[in-house]
Structure 1
């Protein structure tokens, strides 16, 4: 059966949440300009799975109306009762590069103890590319949650601000190997040089976890090749 705006709308109008969920997922097959107006009414759906799917789709179809997407994502980030939906809203803000919403992300991070939401906010900051994120990412490096620290390291690498380099040095000995691995990757992305960087990479190159050691060795080799 071919997917048309009419066939999708029939699913979206169903009282069965499974049909509505199918309809939301089919929206990705339509032109964003056609799909966006249909999503607007579903971001407040009574079923959390439907709301999550609708908010998640804004990461792509939201380009059809960035201003309205900004308003929707801000609202869901602040007001949705479900952490998963809030996290999807944070993801959408980063995917659409809605830097106007940076203060909303910062506030949401400070107002939650939920690691999933904190991680989504931290992870999206690298994609968002707003230089104001440096201080929040520095705060996230002290998180007691490994996944939040790892996401913060990656986002610092994506931001490309070399001021982040010294913030990464203490994490060379982080107890979580994935954090150490991302430190090696971030140092590569930042293109950092100097004795501190060399010392950090040498230490990481001797890491007992092979992935960490290889990433550090590759970063060190690349820096020498550029020198």
Structure 2
């Protein structure tokens, strides 16, 4: 398998062949070429499975290998997918991309999307991704998820609690402790994990 073979696969009329090409994208010689190729597919392919595969592959790229220009292109593409793609799976993958690659300038886009959509999967992806993103600005927003209209949806609760734990902000300790006796087992377990993360973070800072 070489770069030309991968390009042929990506240009195929067969969607499975295009997906195979996406999975072999590392055969292309440079990170920038991989980024540009996957962006073109994620924003333009006619098949949602192929678009989803391309966006997901982008979110798994090594952030350290990306140039600032690559990051700008990725953020532009993710914003395009969030707003224009009709498939929530692709939108969720775009949210994951922003969070996983820590494209901090996309934080407001994630908040706006969360507030404007009724799609639970997209909301979940955003809430779960904000912890991985690691932007301190996310703390207040995550608390608002727990206090808002979604406060009775266990999946969103677990996602928000988990992200608060990942952020490591000590203000989150009394918040996650409210859920240690929740009637939903998954919420209780996530609260225990988040509490342990916050306590560990606090202990580490005290020892410095």
Q: Same fold (TM over 0.5)?
A: yes
Q: Please tell me whether residue 107 in structure 1 is matched to residue 116 in structure 2.
A: no
Looking at structure 2, the residues matched to 192 and 5 of structure 1 have their Cα atoms a distance apart, in angstroms, of: 46
CA offsets, 1:8-51, max 9 Å, x none?
A: 10011112212111111211454533322221220121100000
Q: Please tell me whether residue 139 in structure 1 is matched to residue 140 in structure 2.
A: no
Q: Please tell me whether residue 174 in structure 1 is matched to residue 179 in structure 2.
A: no
TM-score (norm 2): 0.86
Q: Please tell me whether residue 126 in structure 1 is matched to residue 131 in structure 2.
A: yes
Unaligned ranges ≥5, structure 1: 194-221
TM-fit CA distance, 1:69? 0.4
Give the match's secondary structure for 2:125: helix
Match of 1:39 in 2: 38
Pick aligned residue for 2:96 from 81, 91, 108: 91
Give the match's secondary structure for 1:141: helix
Relative to structure 1, the CA distance from residue 29 to residue 179 in structure 2 (aligned partners, 3 Å threshold; closer, same or farther) is farther
CA offsets, 1:117-148, max 9 Å, x none?
A: 01100111001111111122112224232111
Looking at structure 2, the residues matched to 36 and 133 of structure 1 have their Cα atoms a distance apart, in angstroms, of: 27
Aligned residues: 194
Looking at structure 2, the residues matched to 21 and 122 of structure 1 have their Cα atoms a distance apart, in angstroms, of: 28
TM-fit CA distance, 1:102? 0.4
Match of 1:161 in 2: 169
Q: Please tell me whether residue 191 in structure 1 is matched to residue 166 in structure 2.
A: no
Q: Conserved in 2, the CA contact under 8 Å of 1:28 and 1:57?
A: no
Looking at structure 2, the residues matched to 40 and 164 of structure 1 have their Cα atoms a distance apart, in angstroms, of: 36
Looking at structure 1, the residues matched to 35 and 173 of structure 2 have their Cα atoms a distance apart, in angstroms, of: 40
Q: Please tell me whether residue 68 in structure 1 is matched to residue 73 in structure 2.
A: yes
Looking at structure 2, the residues matched to 50 and 28 of structure 1 have their Cα atoms a distance apart, in angstroms, of: 17
Match of 1:51 in 2: 51
TM-score (norm 1): 0.79
Relative to structure 1, the CA distance from residue 57 to residue 192 in structure 2 (aligned partners, 3 Å threshold; closer, same or farther) is closer
CA RMSD after TM alignment? 2.1
Q: Which moved more, 1:174-183 or 1:164-173?
A: 164-173
The structure number with the bigger radius of gyration is 1
